[in-house]
Structure 1
Amino acid sequence: MSYNIQEKDGVILIEIPTRLDASNSQELKDIIAKYVADKKYKFIIDLTNTEFIDSSGLGAIVSKIAHCRANGGDVKIVVTNDRIKEIFNITHLDKVLKEFKTVQEALEEFNNTKNE
């Protein structure tokens, strides 16, 4: 499975496919780790098209969050699917990751944080 990856204003935008599970979560972990190794610490994980996520997918999303935050970055998620939102709620990851309705909103938050 392939991820669509873009860089906008120093933020790495990763568009997740319809499923994020054990079959493709390691690839996501590797992608995030590669960017972190290159000193990129700001990520937006776009789950707009995602219909299913399991525990390995959740683990991939949070795999480098502490490292990113320790270096002035963060991981933000864009989620519109109510079932996916419920998973974040049940696992309490909604307390760890800030949810946005659009990529633009998440980008604006990164840009506003940069100006403070």
Structure 2
Amino acid sequence: MNLIVTPGESYAVVRPEGRLTAPGVPRLRKAVDELVDGGSTRIVVDLSGTEFVDSSGLGALIGGLKSARLAGGDLRIAAATEPVRRVLKLTNLDRVLREHPSPESAFDGD
């Protein structure tokens, strides 16, 4: 899994590419923790390049959401691929991690 982190003025974007599974989870967690610790508490996880997510990947997303919210921010997901969307729906996590069409739209109106 590749991980691209793009800090921004109003929010940061984290883009996992490939399969978000146990081997890549520590890198995702570290990236989110570093953003939150650095003061970027509004984070968008761009899932447009993520072809699959397993339970450890879902756990990392929920952990990142918790970290961001505890720091006064939020973590949102954007542009999920169909396989990822199916897993979110099957686990009912689509109710917790609401998907946005694009990273740019995730914090519109906030």
Q: TM-score, normalised by structure 1?
A: 0.84
In 2, Cα distance between equivalents of 1:5 and 1:67? 17
**Gaps spanning 5+ residues in structure 1: where?**
none
Report the alpha carbon displacement of residue 40 of structure 1 after superposing the two structures with TM.
Answer: 2.1
**Gaps spanning 5+ residues in structure 2: where?**
none
Deviations 1:47-102 (A, max 9, x none): 00111111111111111322322333111101342221111111111111120111
Larger radius of gyration: 1
In 2, Cα distance between equivalents of 1:70 and 1:78? 21
Q: Is the 8 A contact 2:41 2:73 kept in 1?
A: yes
- State whether structure 2 residue 76 is matched by structure 1 residue 76: yes
Please, what is the CA RMSD of the aligned residues? 1.5
Q: Is the 8 A contact 1:13 1:43 kept in 2?
A: yes
How many correspondences in the alignment?
110
Report the alpha carbon displacement of residue 16 of structure 1 after superposing the two structures with TM.
Answer: 1.0
Indicate the percent of aligned positions where both proteins have the same amino acid. Answer: 27
Deviations 1:13-32 (A, max 9, x none): 01111110011011101111
Matched AA of 1:41: T
Q: Is the 8 A contact 2:79 2:103 kept in 1?
A: no
Query: What corresponds to 1:24 in structure 2?
Result: 24
Q: Select the structure that is richer in helix.
A: 1
Query: What corresponds to 1:46 in structure 2?
Result: 46
> Which runs of 4 or more aligned residues in structure 1 lie more than 6 Å from their structure 2 counterparts after TM superposition?
none
